[in-house]
Amino acid sequence: MRTVKSYPEAWPLHSPFVISRGSRTEAHVVVVEIEQDGIKGVGEATPYARYGESEASVLAQIASQLSALQNGMTHAELQQALPAGAARNAIDCALWDLARQQQQITLTALCGVQLAPEIFTAHTISIDTPEAMASSALALWQHGARLLKIKLDDHLISERLVAIRSAVPQATLIVDANESWHAEGLAARCQLLADLQVAMLEQPLPADQDAALSNFIHPLPICADESCHTRDSLEALAGRY
């Protein structure tokens, strides 16, 4: 029989992470440990308040599957037992970690995929003064970052973007508004982004208001985030993003 533990952890951030919905100074995660025959698999996930999750709710979901996990729950059984979210994610990661250790192989070998030599990813700049955001962008560029994701709210949009573009004229920029903009004035803002050579705009409108994008002609790609959760979301998003 397996031994299962779950518990919360908090990790202080190097600097506050600020988006349109608020700021945080710590990363809160829920950790799952699954041990069998002296081998321990570990997984973790972050509860997402935007979708009604908390440390307590995630721990309760994990606890609801304790008996099944102790008695050998598989990945497939987990998919049926819990909805997508932090609890299922943390358990799933722990099961993968346990399995690859039991078989004494790497995770990529267990999954049957090749290890990528490198991964090209975006570095995020959280909301601050235009000067501070430009300084962050320049520092990231000097450390090799070439794709920057700029968090914005409904204020100082032009000032922040102009400062950042001036600091890193060659960087590829993505803007993420995290649902903080409104349909009124969106066309002008999109044109500003296009003029500053922003490559993509992410989730400008609240998820329940993105029908306004159905007939919207925009000069740059718009990407869904909070509006898209699973493949079942895709049909409703057609023609909007």
Residue 117: inside a domain: no
Residue 233: give the domain boundaries.
Answer: 123-237
Region 2-25: mean pLDDT is: 94
| pLDDT given for residue 186 in this prediction | 96
Statement to judge: residues 232 and 196 lie in one domain: yes
d(CA 168, CA 199): 14
pLDDT category, 230, cuts 50, 70, 90?
confident
Region 139-162: mean pLDDT is: 97
Among 111, 143, 158, the domain boundary falls at: 111
Determine which helix (DSSP H) or strand (DSSP E) holds 187, and give its type and residue range.
helix 186-195
Among 80, 111, 142, the domain boundary falls at: 111
| pLDDT given for residue 37 in this prediction | 97
Determine which helix (DSSP H) or strand (DSSP E) holds 6, and give its type and residue range.
strand 3-19
Among 85, 111, 137, the domain boundary falls at: 111
User: How many domains is the chain partitioned into structurally?
Assistant: 2
Residue identified by tokens 């066309």 is 187
Q: What is the pTM of this model?
A: 0.85
Cβ–Cβ contacts within 10 Å for residue 107, how many?
14
What percent of the chain has pLDDT above 90?
Answer: 90
Residue 42: inside a domain: yes
Statement to judge: residues 67 and 153 lie in one domain: no
Binding-site sequence positions for Mg(2+):
176, 202, 225
Question: For residue 161, with 0-12 CB atoms within 10 Å meaning exposed, 13-18 middle and 19 or more buried, which class applies?
Answer: buried
Residue 66: inside a domain: yes
pLDDT, tens digit, 9 for 90 and up, residues 96-118: 999 999 999 999 999 999 988 88
Binding-site sequence positions:
176, 202, 225
pLDDT, tens digit, 9 for 90 and up, residues 161-213: 999 999 999 999 999 999 999 999 999 999 999 999 999 999 999 999 999 99
